Structure 1
Amino acid sequence: MWQCPKCGREFDNTNQDHSCGEPSKTIDAYIAAQSEEVRPLLNQVRDTLREALPYAEERISWRMPTYWYKQNIIHFAAFKKHIGLYPGEKAIEHFSERFTEYKSSKGAVQFPYSKPLPLPLIAEIAKWCFDTGNHH
């Protein structure tokens, strides 16, 4: 186990990437706590998800901005070098051919800050998760 010297949280991995301190209570607070360079990108993702999921409620879940309608639909989060999108395993499988230029894992895809955000793809993923019931 590794313990962060700043916040005291314990992790399995040494130097685990995480946010220190109390988790944000709102998406506004989450975005405001990020760096000046990252905030506009997070707002672009937020605006895209708001438009794609007009009936979803915004909330913080798992310390991430989340869109919820009867259950979690999709999450996103800021990291050191990328924005992570968490639509769940089935969405990652369904859209895998569209992620060739991005790093993806079982339930997430990483959009690096060095590339333009694929906002139409993010909207399509969110709508697919909502329409198919394959929520995260």
Structure 2
Amino acid sequence: MAVQTSEKPSTVDEYLAGFDGLAAQRLAELRRICRESAPEAEETMKWNQPAYVHECGVILFMFSGHARHANIVFTPTTREHFHVELAGYRTGKGSVQLIYEHELPEAFLRRMIEHRIQEHEDHGISWM
């Protein structure tokens, strides 16, 4: 569950402080996975959401917390690359919904992050 605040967070720590309970736990886990999987990326805020940015300035991926789930957002090409494995998830253009009540699919998320970094570095695929 999100804690309501009228102020926009300026850091990822402030953003995460706006959540409690299982939402806070899952978002902290998601942050850890993102940071460990993309240690060279800059962690910053973009559009009021945590984002991971390549050293050249291109957004690699982002995540956000909602009432019952987190979203992790990649490029549509990354989401499409994993479309078979994502059959059991709600997805959007580049997003994947992660329900708080379910354990995070850590190995799968790490593979998606690795793919996203490689698609940018090897093929120059930018953000949406």
Q: Shorter-chain-normalised TM-score: which range?
A: 0.7 to 0.9
Q: Distance in 2 between matches of 1:135 and 1:114?
A: 32
Offset at 1:34?
1.0
Structure 2 counterpart of 1:108, which letter?
Answer: S
Ranges in structure 2 where 5+ consecutive residues have no aligned partner: none
The alignment covers a number of residue pairs equal to: 118
Q: Distance in 2 between matches of 1:127 and 1:56?
A: 12
Q: Distance in 1 between matches of 2:105 and 2:65?
A: 15
1:132 counterpart = 2:84? no
Ranges in structure 1 where 5+ consecutive residues have no aligned partner: 1-18
Q: Give the structure 1 partner of residue 26 of structure 2.
A: 41
Q: Give the structure 2 partner of residue 117 of structure 1.
A: 104
Q: Distance in 1 between matches of 2:67 and 2:21?
A: 13
TM-score in terms of structure 1 length: 0.81
Instruction: Answer with 1 or 2: which has the greater Rg.
Output: 1
Q: Give the structure 2 partner of residue 4 of structure 1.
A: none
Instruction: Deviation per CA, 1:48-95: give whole Å up to 9, x if none.
Output: 111110100000001111101121100001111111010121111111
1:52 counterpart = 2:53? no
> As a proportion of its length, which structure holds more helix?
2
Q: Alignment partner of 2:84: what SS?
A: helix
TM-score in terms of structure 2 length: 0.85
Relative to structure 1, the CA distance from residue 20 to residue 91 in structure 2 (aligned partners, 3 Å threshold; closer, same or farther) is farther
Instruction: Deviation per CA, 1:16-38: give whole Å up to 9, x if none.
Output: xxx76232111111001112321
Instruction: Name segments (4+ residues, structure 1) moved above 3 Å.
Output: none
Q: Distance in 2 between matches of 1:77 and 1:36?
A: 16
Equivalent pair of 1:87/1:135 in contact (CA under 8 Å)? no
> Percent identity between the aligned chains?
25
Match of 1:102 among 85, 89, 108: 89
Q: Distance in 2 between matches of 1:120 and 1:31?
A: 22
Structure 2 counterpart of 1:26, which letter?
Answer: T
